[in-house]
Amino acid sequence: MTTLPRVAYYTHHHGSGHLRHALNIARLQVVDLLVTGSTEPAGLRTVPHTRFAQLTTDTGPDGEPYPTPEEPFLHYTPINSAIRNRFAELHAAWRDFDPQVIIIDVSAEAAIFARLCGYPVIYRRMPGDRSDAVHELAYASASELVAYYPRRLEESSYLEAFGHRTQYLGMLSPTGGAETDSAKPGGRIITVQTSLGGNGVNLGDLVQAARSCPSWQWNVAGLSTGSIELPPNVRLLGVLKDPAQELAAADIIITSAGYHAVAAAAAAGRPTILVPEERPFGEQAAFARALAITAGIPMAESWSDVSWPDLLRQAAASDANALRKALFVSQESFKVGLLDLVSKASGAGS
């Protein structure tokens, strides 16, 4: 019987994307996996060779970050018992599981802690300007780095410094997906998709866009902020458990540039416009620009000061499968890359 490599996966509390990556890896069933975090992803424990260790949350009761000392030497260094308990629980979970390698998705503090505990570390590389000293320290602490997007989307300065230690796994292709035709003749349905880790789309900006294109129906799946009377061609769907049906029904998708929002748009195979939401380190803006440059995906830097009629015409004429072609890799390719990464990193320890 083949023994699977033991991998621990640390998930950051912000947003839902880090947990989704852990769940994706669990479902591949090529590693014996321990996931740690503040929130357990639904269905994780039903996956063979997978377990979850709950950690004390590293935010306050209201969900806001704890105060940190002035000029912290890392990104997030509160001084309180909750943080002490979290790291004690984390160390205990690792000690009991005895992983061969730990994937950190993401936290400079957790990466450095894991390295100081004597474990080989794989640190997740994300888009954006992460050239600060803390990220440089996290990268230096890692035996290997991993990115869930293709190498061609990477920034040249990062490639020069860390590209030789980074495994670009690409974006895991959904099962059963297939390329689709471009925009349907005469179709006039837009699905707007937001990320879940922020405030979503501002209704004032959305209404202004919808009024500039009154012949289009604008359906919003996700979060929104503000209070304004909606025109007849705007419909708020709220946060959907699975937006796939709404995305597939769209003639054009307008999506945030969060990783999993982009993945959902790519899976739908519809002409897509990227509008990044504000995130630390310019993460979404950098991802959107890279896709615009390398794959020709239409984008707007923000919802304001945009000629929406022109941008919709550009999107309608674009390749509906451009995102899919730029990002997706097969499950087999992803598995091979993951196991190669784990093997290289675990070879650094004993």
Dihedral sign from CA coordinates of 315, 316, 319, 322: positive
Number of domains the chain contains: 2
Q: Does residue 183 lie within any of the structural domains?
A: no
Q: What is the DSSP letter of 299?
A: B
Shared domain check, 17 and 160: yes
Shared domain check, 248 and 130: no
Q: Does residue 67 lie within any of the structural domains?
A: yes
Question: Is residue 106 helix, strand or coil?
Answer: coil
Exposure string of 143-157, with b = 16+ CB inside 10 Å and e = fewer, is bbbbbbbbeebbbee
Q: Tens of pLDDT along the chain (350 residues)? A: 579 999 999 998 766 688 999 999 999 999 999 999 999 988 898 999 999 999 999 999 998 999 998 877 899 999 999 999 999 999 999 999 999 999 999 999 999 999 999 999 999 999 999 999 999 999 999 999 999 999 999 999 999 999 999 999 999 998 755 566 655 556 799 999 999 888 999 999 999 999 999 999 999 999 999 999 999 999 999 999 999 999 999 999 999 999 999 999 999 999 999 999 999 999 999 999 999 999 999 999 999 989 999 999 999 999 999 999 999 999 999 999 999 999 999 987 66
Q: What is the CATH number of the domain that holds 118?
A: 3.40.50.2000
DSSP 14-49: SSSHHHHHHHHHHHHTSSEEEEEESSPPTTGGGSTT
Shared domain check, 224 and 291: yes
Sheet with strand 6-11: strands edge to edge: 50-54, 32-37, 6-11, 101-105, 121-124, 144-147, 166-168
Shared domain check, 158 and 29: yes
Q: What is the pTM of this model?
A: 0.93
Dihedral sign from CA coordinates of 302, 307, 309, 312: negative
> Residue 1: what pLDDT?
59
Shared domain check, 116 and 17: yes
Q: Which CA distances in Å does 340 have to 44, 61, 246, 313, 347?
A: 24, 40, 37, 43, 11
> Residue 45: what pLDDT?
87
Shared domain check, 309 and 239: yes
Q: Identify which of 266, 281, 259, 251 has the alpha carbon closest to the alpha carbon of residue 188.
A: 251
Shared domain check, 153 and 81: yes
Shared domain check, 203 and 115: no
Shared domain check, 80 and 115: yes
> Residue 185: what pLDDT?
57
> Residue 17: what pLDDT?
80
> Residue 163: what pLDDT?
96
Distance of CA 119 to the CA centre of its chain: 25
Shared domain check, 339 and 287: no
Q: Does residue 102 lie within any of the structural domains?
A: yes
Shared domain check, 76 and 17: yes
Shared domain check, 229 and 202: yes
Q: How far apart are CA 284 and CA 294, in angstroms?
A: 15
Q: How far apart are CA 261 and CA 264, in angstroms?
A: 5
**Structural domain span for residue 49:** 6-173+330-346
